[in-house]
Structure 1
Amino acid sequence: MSKLSTSFILFLLAILFFALTVLNNQLLSPLRLDLTENQVYSLSKGSKEIVANIDEPINLYFFFSDKSSKGMTTLRNYASRVESMLQEYANAAPGKIKLNVIDPVAFSEAEDQANQFGLTAATVGNLGDAIYLGLAATNALDDQEVIAFFDPQQEKFLEYEISKLLHKLSSPQAVKVTVVSDLPLSGGQNPMSGRFDPAWSFLTQLQQLYDVEQIGNSAQSLPEGSEVVMLIHPTEVSEELMFAIDQYALKGGKLLVFVDPNSESDPMAMMAGMGAMGPSSSNLPSLFKAWGVNFDATQTLLDAELGLDIRTSDGGVARHFGFIGIESAQLNRSDVTTASLEVINGASFGVFSKNPSSSVRWETLMSSSNNTALIPVGTYAANREPQALSREFENANQQHVLAVRLTGKAKSAFDEALDTSQQQDFIASTEQLNVILVGDTDMLADRFWVQQANFFGQTMLTPFANNGDFVTNAVENLAGSNALISIRSRGTFARPFTTVDALTVEAERKFREQEQLLQQQLDETEQQLAQLQQQEAEGAALVLSPAQQQAIDDFVAKRVEIRKALREVRHQLDKDIEELGNWLKFINIAVTPFILMLVLMLLSRLFRTRSNGSEGL
């Protein structure tokens, strides 16, 4: 009877398990609980806003070579992470986002479809198998966007890239970019050389991607429908245009501003009254003050660490402290505009600082090194040779902000509207300022980042720096909605083994100490051998004294001992890591289930006690 009762209970448990599984899949699948530290499996508020604004259905085609990637554990884990994130988007917009997961096996229609979408096939393994890990998406208007390949190294931007793709498909119209500048960005006759200069390459690239319109600093207003406004070297801006820019920013408009204490790429500066190479500075003092930003257009930056090597007038090469190459260490790796860039070149940068009373959110995009100095623009302009600038350099040991993103609260630079007809629409303050400031305009000039060459009548551009990429990234980022801009980067799925890393660092510290000891002993012996060789070269008999022979023998023994110690350090490192791994396995395999069993036993006893108590009543 007891055996029958046990079998019946096990049968009931199996049925219950099956029923709960079906119930979970059918009714509870939309419900998810993300217990990861950075909520990497959940959509951010910005992504949810983008999904909520989708009007027409969007089809997502996630291509992953499941069969061809057998054994590639890391890649398969990341593909699972991507698919899970895509499923989150589909769950957030039922009926609006349809996810299709496709395995493009070799020589199949699915592989042809992936190629038609333009997805990238990564070639891996000895057999050269093509691995797809990309996304294609279409909307009801047959517009198409793709992510050619999901790079695991860019995992922190996974949500941003997917949300950007959805935003483009839900708003497929070309973005209107307004460029405000008096610089000859579109090319034309150079007033100094008389030659015809081509359009600046960054502007050509923008025109290929967006609807670009250029106006001068004397304009009275901004064009209707401007989605991103670029201010480049704003000098002598009309008051009407300044007011229009102020209100545009306060009403949620996106601004990308390039100012400069000394624009070396302004051809009109050569004709200025201050001399043949007089400085040409730009600033927005009233707007900067209202936004809580300090920018001194009378000072320019010298950076002894990031200075670029240039050819001098005498044909030599010297480091120019004013011509700066901003490297990856000085670029914000958490912001999408600068995360993937390696170097940005510019000249005579101005620096920004935040007013302590400002409420604006401040995010540095580019910075200098600590080996810097600020000098007057006039002094900089009067010392054109690198050697002269180096003599003016006095290290202040201070890092400066060269580009910054401003978001959040700000007030107007005007107390009231310029015209009574505008008073009704006047905005005095905002909480949605969205501005990127850059302290240089020379970085936009071709000579600092790109070379042009004529190839059979076609102009070929060969970039040697990421200046153009930064401009394109910034415009693309600003052209998105505020929700998209708020996403930027998030956490990664993989978490470091900090304890293992600590063990590795400690072992390597011991290894270096032993290595230094060995090197010291080696140097001493080599010095002794060099003395003996010198004696031999002078004709002296090469006879080692007992003391010298004993010293060499002692070194050989010591070297064997130290090498043994080095092997022991490495062995101990592996042993510590192995022991840690064994403990983790023990906890996961034995301790956790044991604790769970104890909890279930306690709950069972608790329920039994209550049941007995109820029967007694």
Structure 2
Amino acid sequence: MSTRFTTWLSMLFIAILFCALVLLNNQLLSAYRVDLTENKVYSLSQGSEQILTEIDEPLNLYFFFSDKAAKNMTTLRNYAARVQSLLEEYAERSNGKIKLHILDPEPFSEKEDKADQFGLTAANIGTAGEAVYLGLGATNALDDQQVIAFFDPQQERFLEYEISKLIYQLVNPKQVKVTLLTDLPVGGGQNPMTGEFEQPWTFYTQLQQLYVVDKIASDATELPKGTDVLIVAHPKNLSEELLFSIDQYVMQGGRALIFVDPHNESDQMSMLTGAGMGANSSNLARLFDAWGVDFDPQYVLLDAYAGLDVRTQTGDVARHFGFVGLSPNELNATDVTTSNLDLINGASFGIFKKSPRSGLRWNDLIHSTENSDLIDSAQYAQTREPLALSQAYKSDNKQYVLATRLTGNVKSAFEQPPEGIQSETFEQKTKDMNVILVGDTDLLSDRFWVQQSSFFGQTITTPFANNGDFVTNAVENLAGSNALISIRSRGTFARPFDKVEQLKLVAEQKFREQEKILQQQLDETESQLSQLQEQQGEGGALVISSQQQQAIDDFMEQKIQIRKSLREVRHQLDKDIENLGNLIKFVNIVVAPLLLVLLLMGARRLLRSRYNPNKAFSVAKEGQA
């Protein structure tokens, strides 16, 4: 009786001790966390923590998630929990500067009105078509607002970057100033070739809508003061003073987006003046040499796989190996500037190579396919027919870098300021260089990525490629702080079920085989029916023999059976996945705890058998006897 009482008392003591330890952990140890995930998805990177230290005023974050409306959406609820956990980590690390509000915007509630005030997007993905919110609104002490309209689970790897960018923009609400250095007719005006008036280039219009843009030409001697991001497009014959100004801008931590080109298809002035070969190429050789970048404007990229179809002079359609469309396979999926893009079109790309003496870190953003070759730019300029380019093409079976990001330590291209230039400060090196290089300028022109149409006197532009998105993404990223730019893509918290994916692939293969058989039989039947129609006389009725009617009936019956088998394949797939899920649940809920209990019982028996006080006492007593 006393033994049973002792057992119950021990269990009660363990329960009280457990509750006390949980309470102690929540009250005293909540600030201490250990992230044991492989990619540290629940921890903040160093860049995010640095942004949090720069907060000088209280911020309010309002996380909106339709918890009740998404009751049966397991995947979305798991991702919402992931977002909320990360937001709580931001609030915990901010030393009280961030106050997090968790809101469930139910229909016709004040919380839903608040979500609408922030302009959040509601997705109609509920079981009954109800609106589901999963977004973030934020304000600072001056009532400036920033929002993430909807957290897309497909963009999970950039979740931390998007939240840190929102906080950074609230802490630094001033408008970004962009300086565009170019002689290209991006502002529109009269075309010297045709005499017609042209609209401003779409990418330039988009920049003006988002930022304060100051456009200067190559005859300038210095960059405007207060430039946050410098865009250099097709630089040619820049003066020593302007080169020095660009160099010092980079040495002082300025960010630049530079477009160079071995052959610009849109350089109208070079075509008009009839300048020699190479006159419509661009380069920044002096700066590139100092940065350890090899860019030879004498070579143009040909890509057989990424080539675009164009209409020839004879009216036919042919693939142009010099006009390329770069898909997600050729874009860096881990860099925020190119991760969400589907297509970038360009022409006559030049390539970048890293010099052995370069000490910079290269993060390639765009590359060619392995079906690529290089051709002399002069030969390319003289070859107008796509067929002639394809005949000159010989694959190198290698990828070429078409756009890259340079970061790290670098020395100035100037040992001292040029003679006659008064400079208040002269920086000989920098540790914070951040420059993006692109080997094409044609991707900026409208004809490669937008289609224009007139609608009641207004010009409507419809993009068919993401060239403009690439430019705005790059500018937005470069306009951030070093801490924000340093935040790279993170891993995902959802781990793949390899066995489930394998089952899907097997079932999908069966489905495709059955589908192929059905399609072949459909084609054969259509061929038989067309032959019967040909046998029909003009104005006569179509007569089908009993044998032909029986064949058609047999096929229709077979068609029904094959469709039934297709449904069975899909059903079997779902059944196999369900059985696998039940097995995993059974192992986790029943087998694993049972094995743990048996293991503990075995360990207890082993310890008691090794040291038994009663047995030890009896052995000692026998020894005395």
TM-score w.r.t. the length of structure 2 is 0.84
The Cα shift of 1:466 comes to: 0.7
Distance 2:404 2:260 in 1: 12
Letter in 2 for 1:212: V
- Aligned residue in 1 for 2:63: 62
Equivalent positions of 1:145-294 (< 5 A) are 145-274=146-275, 280-294=280-294
Q: Deviations over 1:52-86 (max 9, x none)?
A: 11111110001110111111111111111110111
Equivalent positions of 1:271-420 (< 5 A) are 271-274=272-275, 280-418=280-418
| Kept in 1: contact 2:503–2:577 (CA 8 A) | yes
The Cα shift of 1:282 comes to: 0.3
Q: Structure 1 167/348 Cα, relative in aligned 2: closer, same or farther at 3 Å?
A: same
Q: Structure 1 373/83 Cα, relative in aligned 2: closer, same or farther at 3 Å?
A: same
Letter in 2 for 1:494: A
Distance 1:169 1:606 in 2: 62
Q: Structure 1 455/295 Cα, relative in aligned 2: closer, same or farther at 3 Å?
A: same
* 1:448 is aligned to 2:448: yes
| Kept in 1: contact 2:126–2:132 (CA 8 A) | no
Letter in 2 for 1:100: H
- Aligned residue in 2 for 1:438: 438
Distance 1:313 1:250 in 2: 49
Worse-matched range after superposition: 301-310 or 477-486: 301-310
| Kept in 2: contact 1:264–1:279 (CA 8 A) | no
**Other structure's SS at 2:493 match:** coil
- Aligned residue in 2 for 1:94: 95
Worse-matched range after superposition: 286-295 or 36-45: 286-295
Q: Structure 1 457/607 Cα, relative in aligned 2: closer, same or farther at 3 Å?
A: farther
Worse-matched range after superposition: 208-217 or 254-263: 208-217
Q: Deviations over 1:97-152 (max 9, x none)?
A: 11000001111111111111101111124522111111100111111011111111
**Other structure's SS at 2:184 match:** coil
Worse-matched range after superposition: 302-311 or 499-508: 499-508
Q: Structure 1 321/592 Cα, relative in aligned 2: closer, same or farther at 3 Å?
A: same
The Cα shift of 1:27 comes to: 1.8
Q: Structure 1 570/230 Cα, relative in aligned 2: closer, same or farther at 3 Å?
A: closer
Question: Which stretches in structure 2 are left out of the alignment for 5+ residues?
Answer: 529-564, 618-625
- Aligned residue in 2 for 1:548: none
**Other structure's SS at 1:169 match:** helix
- Aligned residue in 1 for 2:463: 463
The Cα shift of 1:240 comes to: 1.5
Q: Structure 1 251/382 Cα, relative in aligned 2: closer, same or farther at 3 Å?
A: same
Distance 2:200 2:290 in 1: 34
| Kept in 1: contact 2:262–2:278 (CA 8 A) | no
Distance 2:469 2:271 in 1: 29
TM-score w.r.t. the length of structure 1 is 0.85
| Kept in 2: contact 1:189–1:195 (CA 8 A) | yes
Q: Structure 1 213/600 Cα, relative in aligned 2: closer, same or farther at 3 Å?
A: farther
Worse-matched range after superposition: 240-249 or 574-583: 574-583
Q: Structure 1 433/603 Cα, relative in aligned 2: closer, same or farther at 3 Å?
A: farther
Q: Structure 1 416/164 Cα, relative in aligned 2: closer, same or farther at 3 Å?
A: same
Distance 1:420 1:595 in 2: 83
Distance 1:319 1:569 in 2: 41
Q: Structure 1 278/575 Cα, relative in aligned 2: closer, same or farther at 3 Å?
A: same
Letter in 1 for 2:451: Q
| Kept in 1: contact 2:350–2:402 (CA 8 A) | yes
Distance 1:431 1:595 in 2: 56
Distance 2:294 2:23 in 1: 62
**Other structure's SS at 1:25 match:** helix
Q: Structure 1 202/508 Cα, relative in aligned 2: closer, same or farther at 3 Å?
A: closer
Distance 1:465 1:31 in 2: 47
| Kept in 1: contact 2:262–2:297 (CA 8 A) | yes
- Aligned residue in 1 for 2:25: 24
Distance 1:257 1:571 in 2: 55
Worse-matched range after superposition: 589-598 or 24-33: 589-598
Distance 2:571 2:471 in 1: 51
Q: Structure 1 200/515 Cα, relative in aligned 2: closer, same or farther at 3 Å?
A: closer
Worse-matched range after superposition: 496-505 or 76-85: 496-505
The Cα shift of 1:401 comes to: 1.3
Distance 2:203 2:378 in 1: 29
Question: Which stretches in structure 1 are left out of the alignment for 5+ residues?
Answer: 530-564
Distance 1:611 1:29 in 2: 42
| Kept in 2: contact 1:327–1:343 (CA 8 A) | yes
* 1:476 is aligned to 2:471: no
Worse-matched range after superposition: 117-126 or 501-510: 501-510
Q: Deviations over 1:8-60 (max 9, x none)?
A: 33333332232222222222222222111111111111111111111111100
| Kept in 2: contact 1:278–1:381 (CA 8 A) | no
**Other structure's SS at 1:487 match:** coil
Q: Structure 1 431/506 Cα, relative in aligned 2: closer, same or farther at 3 Å?
A: farther
Distance 1:339 1:600 in 2: 50
- Aligned residue in 2 for 1:36: 37
Worse-matched range after superposition: 492-501 or 100-109: 492-501
**Other structure's SS at 2:286 match:** helix
| Kept in 2: contact 1:189–1:197 (CA 8 A) | yes
**Other structure's SS at 2:322 match:** strand
The Cα shift of 1:453 comes to: 3.2
Q: Deviations over 1:525-568 (max 9, x none)?
A: 99xx9xxxxxxxxxxxxxxxxxxxxxxxxxxxxxxxxxxx9999
- Aligned residue in 2 for 1:110: 111
Q: Structure 1 270/133 Cα, relative in aligned 2: closer, same or farther at 3 Å?
A: same
The Cα shift of 1:387 comes to: 2.5
| Kept in 2: contact 1:279–1:378 (CA 8 A) | no
Distance 1:261 1:450 in 2: 23
| Kept in 1: contact 2:146–2:166 (CA 8 A) | yes
The Cα shift of 1:350 comes to: 0.6
Distance 2:607 2:263 in 1: 80
Please report the RMSD computed on the Cα atoms of aligned residues, expressed in angstroms: 4.0
The Cα shift of 1:357 comes to: 3.4
- Aligned residue in 2 for 1:540: none
Q: Deviations over 1:498-523 (max 9, x none)?
A: 3444566578789999999x99x99x
- Aligned residue in 1 for 2:145: 144
The Cα shift of 1:206 comes to: 0.5
Q: Deviations over 1:223-279 (max 9, x none)?
A: 11111111100101111211221222222211100000011111111123436x975
Distance 1:289 1:595 in 2: 66
Q: Deviations over 1:365-396 (max 9, x none)?
A: 11112222211111111112223322322233
Letter in 2 for 1:430: T
Distance 1:29 1:188 in 2: 63
* 1:132 is aligned to 2:143: no
**Other structure's SS at 2:486 match:** helix
